[in-house]
Amino acid sequence: MKTLYVQGNTWLHRLSPGLKLGGLAVFSLLLFATRSPVVLAAAVFLAGAIHASMRFGVVRTWQQLRVILLSISILTVFTLLLNGPADALAVFLRLVALAVLAATITATTSTAEFIDTITAGARPLERIGLVKAADLGLAIGLVVRFVPEVLARYEAIRDAHRARGLKQRPLTLAVPLIIQTLRHADEIAAAIDARGIRGQNNRKLGEGS
Amino acid sequence: MATRDLVLAALFAAIIVALGLVPPIMLGFIPVPITAQSLGVMLAGVILGAKRGGLAVLLVLVLVAIGLPVLSGGRGGLATFVLPTAGYLVGWFFAAVAIGYCSERFVGRSQSALVQVTGFFMAAMIGGVVILHGLGILWLAYGTGTGLSTAFLGDLAFIPGDILKAAIAALAGRAVMVGYPLLPQRA
């Protein structure tokens, strides 16, 4: 799995992830508060200038934005048909500005930085006993680790269908995939506990359930 | 949360991600391919229950937010959260929790097969259709400024597919419950 992060050392790379996310949130609130095409066009220009100053190159920019631009185009066409050109222009400019800035932040913040930020953000939740902040990093690591294995299992099940001349149905594909994958939960949990990654208390909890 | 439940949620999140990477599955009786990813969200609630199912979906959303292209079609990154269609993405979490909560209430091991499938189907309909589409419509109406009624009309096109997915999720949920009885039903 390839991340959308682009390595580099620009000012945006060095800015703290919390600040970048906060900035994006403020930017989006401001954009949704206005309908003026001039202000929104200025926002598109600002986001475009920030993106251009990262010097990712046209090819990478296009790759990152093409799917999202398709969604934006569809939404713009619908707004045009339903509400007229003024609203459609506002929707188009607002979404392009937001999408470009968001994609730029995604490209300049590494997965590790994001996980650290999320873990730090989860600390208040930990204090009220809702989650363990450190578990988040562990869980994210587990997901990334097991995606290729689930895919391999899916292919094996699909090949088994083909070998038997069976039609591939959602039910007959999903059920064995889920059972085969979840069956390993006990071993993985035991391996995690054996290494004491989550501390002693959780192991006792695990035995109880 | 016990380590085992954390691992189950993470494994299911991996299943949801993997389902976004496989090609859409064709059904025999309708000509429209089914994207398996949103089916995975319903399955998370049905099979794992509210707490673990919700966590599984939350993990997928976190992966999207931190810039991994884990959504179907290789989408990902913060940009997917700023679109007016993000309600359907954020709604996944609430859908999974609601489906899990209802499944835990509606379905028990001692019931007959028909009652179990019906219970799972009702749960998937409440979370995966009513709550998910409700939130999606509200977000869409606010994000585009088109008003609730037009957002609702645009949304209608996706309802039949999701009803079908709820039915598949119900059948698959029951099949997993019967086929893997060791899976603890309560988190």
Instruction: Show me where the domains of chain A are located.
Output: 11-109, 133-208
pLDDT at A89 over 60: yes
Q: Are the beta carbons of B124 and B169 closer than 8 angstroms?
A: yes
Residue B117's pLDDT band (cuts 50, 70, 90): very high
Query: Considering chain B, what is the average pLDDT of its residues?
Result: 87
Residue B185's pLDDT band (cuts 50, 70, 90): low
CB contact under 8 A, A178 and B8: no
> Which residues in A lie closer than 8 A to residue B77 (C-beta atoms)?
4, 64, 102-103, 106-107
- Residue spans of alpha helices (H) in chain A: 11-14, 17-33, 37-53, 58-83, 85-108, 111-127, 133-163, 170-182, 185-194, 200-208
Instruction: Show me where the domains of chain B are located.
Output: 3-179
CA distance A1 to A141: 13
pLDDT score of A156: 94
What are B174's two structure tokens?
A: 């029951």
- Choose the most confident range, by mean pLDDT, from A143-152, B22-31, B168-177: B168-177
Q: Both ends of chain B: CA-CA distance in Å?
A: 8
CB contact under 8 A, B69 and A146: no
Average pLDDT over residues B131-153: 88
| Nearest to A145, CA basis, from B163, B33, B13 | B13
CB contact under 8 A, B69 and A3: yes
Helix (H) or strand (E) run with residue B168 in it: helix B159-179
pLDDT at B31 over 70: no
Task: Assess A188–B contact: CB distance below 8 Å, yes or no.
Answer: yes
| Nearest to B138, CA basis, from B96, B90, B100 | B90
Half-sphere exposure (CA, 13 Å, Cβ side) for A150? 30
Q: How many beta-carbon pairs under 8 angstroms link A with B?
A: 224
CB contact under 8 A, A135 and B14: no
pLDDT at B96 over 90: yes
For residue B149, the chain A residue with the least C-alpha distance is A82
| Nearest to A94, CA basis, from B140, B136, B75, B84 | B84
pLDDT at A203 over 50: no
CATH number of B3-179: 1.10.1760.20
> Which residues in A lie closer than 8 A to residue B6 (C-beta atoms)?
135, 138-139, 142, 189, 198
pLDDT score of A209: 39
Among A37-46, A135-144, B177-186, whose mean pLDDT is lowest?
Answer: B177-186
User: Which candidate in A178, A200, A207 is best for mutational testing of the B interface (most B CBs within 10 A)?
Assistant: A178
| Axis-axis angle for helices B113-125, B36-65 (nearest 10) | 50
DSSP B16-45: HHHHHHSPPEEPSSSSSEE-HHHHHHHHHH
CB contact under 8 A, A106 and B8: no
Residue B27's pLDDT band (cuts 50, 70, 90): low
Task: Assess A38–B contact: CB distance below 8 Å, yes or no.
Answer: no
Residue A1's pLDDT band (cuts 50, 70, 90): low
Query: Considering chain A, what is the average pLDDT of its residues?
Result: 85
Higher local confidence (pLDDT), B158 or B121? B121
Single-letter code of the amino acid located at B82: V
pLDDT at B186 over 70: no
For residue A93, the chain B residue with the least C-alpha distance is B144
Average pLDDT over residues B58-86: 85
Q: Are the beta carbons of B44 and B96 closer than 8 angstroms?
A: yes
Residue B170's pLDDT band (cuts 50, 70, 90): very high
pLDDT score of B120: 96
Nearest to A192 among B3, B143, B176 (CB): B3
Task: Assess A10–B contact: CB distance below 8 Å, yes or no.
Answer: no
pLDDT per position as a tens digit, B10-26: 999 999 999 888 777 66
CB contact under 8 A, B8 and A206: no
Q: Are the beta carbons of B138 and B146 closer than 8 angstroms?
A: no
> Which residues in B lie closer than 8 A to residue A78 (C-beta atoms)?
144, 146, 154
pLDDT score of A177: 93
- Write a three-state SS string for B73-136: HHECCCHHHHCCCHHHHHHHHHHHHHHHHHHHHHCCCCCCHHHHHHHHHHHHHHHHHHHHHHHH
Average pLDDT over residues A46-67: 87
pLDDT score of A67: 79
pLDDT at A124 over 50: yes
pLDDT score of A207: 45
Report the gap between the CA of B116 and the closest CA in chain A (Å).
16
pLDDT at B157 over 60: yes
pLDDT per position as a tens digit, A9-43: 888 899 888 899 888 888 888 888 888 999 999 99
Task: Assess A48–B contact: CB distance below 8 Å, yes or no.
Answer: no
pLDDT score of A208: 41
CB contact under 8 A, B83 and A71: yes
Among A47-56, A127-136, B1-10, B89-98, whose mean pLDDT is lowest?
Answer: A127-136
CA distance A27 to A21: 10
Q: Is A110 left (phi over 0), alpha (psi -120 to 50) or beta?
A: beta
pLDDT score of B45: 95
Average pLDDT over residues B103-112: 90
CA distance A38 to A34: 10
CA distance A147 to A115: 18
- Choose the most confident range, by mean pLDDT, from A6-15, A60-69, B130-139, B150-159: B130-139
